Amino acid sequence: MNTSAADKNDKHKTKMQKQKQRIDSQIEKNSLEKGVMIFLTGDGKGKTSSAFGMVLRALGYNHKVGVVQFIKGQQLSGEELYLKNKLPDVQFYQMGTGFTWDTQDRSSDIEAAEKTWSVAQRMLKDNTLDLVILDEITYMLSFKYLDPDTIINSIKGRPFGQSVVVTGRGGGSRLKEIADTVSEVKEIKHAYNNGIKARKGVDY
């Protein structure tokens, strides 16, 4: 090794030692062990898939998981197939109506939303569940299909150790307030706007 490379390695080591100190001291400070509420919002791709990644992560520890999807296309999705065929232990409920622009029927949408919410509400009271996913529930708020107070209170009143992941692009200002972690997924670009067909196993 020449001197310049050795020098680079030394500098790297010092810098990394400092970074490790910073990270370790933050880890040490963080002592509160509780279920977290995560809110994934924004217009970009990756919110629902991120929620399902956490399902997989939780299942790695044999945690118990419940998933409620508040909206779905008429197309079958990969996550739906996987949950139904491979993960019978995951509690899974889907509002079976298609997108609201498919149904075009407000009162049947509201009825379906309320039925779906009652499943979610039961999960949010179930202290055997480690993780609950409320996928696309924000649409139910922006369309005023469900009462925000009821949802906020149910999430806040969930069992102490239970984590909740909420996804959806609009209608989430109050969800932001009560969340421990909020990520906004911004669309920088999307294949969809470039003539590329939605891709099975990636987009749905």
The DSSP symbol for 145 reads -
Closest CB to a second copy among residues 58, 151: 58
Q: Which position has the token pair 């991120």?
A: 50
Query: Minimum distance between the CB of residue 58 and a second copy, rounded to whole angstroms?
Result: 4
Closest CB to a second copy among residues 30, 157: 30
Q: Which two tokens stand for residue 112?
A: 């379906």
| Cα distance between residue 108 and residue 100, in whole Å | 10
| Cα distance between residue 77 and residue 15, in whole Å | 45
Closest CB to a second copy among residues 48, 116: 48
Query: Minimum distance between the CB of residue 68 and a second copy, rounded to whole angstroms?
Result: 16
Closest CB to a second copy among residues 46, 148: 46
Query: Minimum distance between the CB of residue 94 and a second copy, rounded to whole angstroms?
Result: 14
Give the contacts of 135 (CB within 8 A, at least 6 positions apart): 48, 51, 67, 68, 69, 70, 71, 167, 168
The SS3 call for residue 126 is: coil
Query: Minimum distance between the CB of residue 154 and a second copy, rounded to whole angstroms?
Result: 19
